[in-house]
Structure 1
Amino acid sequence: MTQSAGAVPKASDGYSGWVGWIGFAGVMMMLLGTFHAIQGLVALFNDEYYLVTSTGLLVSLDYTAWGWVHLIGGAVLVAAGLGVFGGQVWARAVGVAAAMLSAVVNVAFLAAYPVWSLMMIALDVVLILALTVHGSEVKARR
């Protein structure tokens, strides 16, 4: 049975019920990307917002540099999230790599905003799980 492009696979088409994890992963990638973009914009426009000075961070960069890192990383996550909905393998690979990088960046950002960073790390771990365990179920059958 063939599927049209953009169609959502169903369990009746021979896919497991776990395929919903990929939809979840795509949404989470876009949400995390948006969160990173917001965090980056705050760092760019109001660097006094964060609780510590940039010298108190694990990696000593000014907040302008952190802002650009978060903003660019957020855009990559949103783009890859859109690719996940299309069943693109490259998008899953980018999503896993970006989620790993996001977790590392948020560890470095813990001193500035601990609750936010811990939340982001937890979401990154769930995202990696969803993309690696159930990602292949989205590919359309030939």
Structure 2
Amino acid sequence: MSMMDAGRQQAGAGGARTASAEGMSSTAEGAGWVLFAGIMMAVVSVLNIIYGIAAIGNSSFFVADQKYILSDLNTWGWVTVAIGGIQMIAAFSIWNGRTFGRWLGIIMAAASAIAALLSIPAYPFWSLAIFAIDIMIIYGLAAYGGQRNPV
């Protein structure tokens, strides 16, 4: 017996309302995206903090003598450390199911994506990877983050 058949039998027998299989999969899918966005927000937060500390310390794995659109590598290091710290706060708020966390997560993922694009001269592949993850976070929170339940 499938889940849809069981749902029909329960609804028909007792007249009680049950969720259809389609409704359950859409809720589960949305909860999965919100959980994914929260986890990726925490991962990107840690990566941004590591990237920022390396940039502040003028680490040798960055491309040397690059021109930046705004300021220099040291400044971008401080910017990404600040973004990473706020992203960690957003990740915990997303996991608590708060609307504030959803909007803070969207704003911080957008700020991180812009900062990643502006820091492409320093480390191109890292910046593009962070940008791609930020776009997935924005999608997960914008499309499915309206739930009020903790994940």
TM over 0.5: yes
Work out which of the residue numbers 24, 28, 40 in structure 2 matches 1:17.
28
Q: 1:94 aligns with which of 104, 111, 114?
A: 104
Unaligned segments of structure 2, at least 5 residues: 1-19
Matched, 1:66 2:76: yes
Runs of 5+ unmatched residues, structure 1: 1-10
Deviation at 1:47, TM superposition (A): 4.3
CA distance in 2 between partners of 1:23 and 1:43 (Å): 30
- Name the structure 2 match of 1:49: 61
Give the % identical residues. 28
- The one-letter code matched in structure 1 to 2:142 is T
Instruction: Please show how residues 73-84 of structure 1 align to structure 2 within 5 Å.
Output: 73-84=83-94
Contact 1:43–1:49 at 8 Å: present in 2 too? no
Higher relative contact order (CA 8 A, sep 6+): 1
Which of residues 125, 136, 142 in structure 1 aligns to 2:146?
136
RMSD: 2.0
| Local SS of the residue matching 2:145 | helix
Q: Distance in 2 between matches of 1:113 and 1:89?
A: 34
TM-score, normalized by length of structure 2? Answer: 0.77
Code of the aligned partner of 1:37:
I
Ranges of 4+ aligned residues in structure 1 off by more than 2 Å:
46-49
State which of 75, 98, 122 in structure 1 corresponds to 2:132. 122
| Count of aligned positions | 127
The code of the aligned residue for 2:88 comes to V
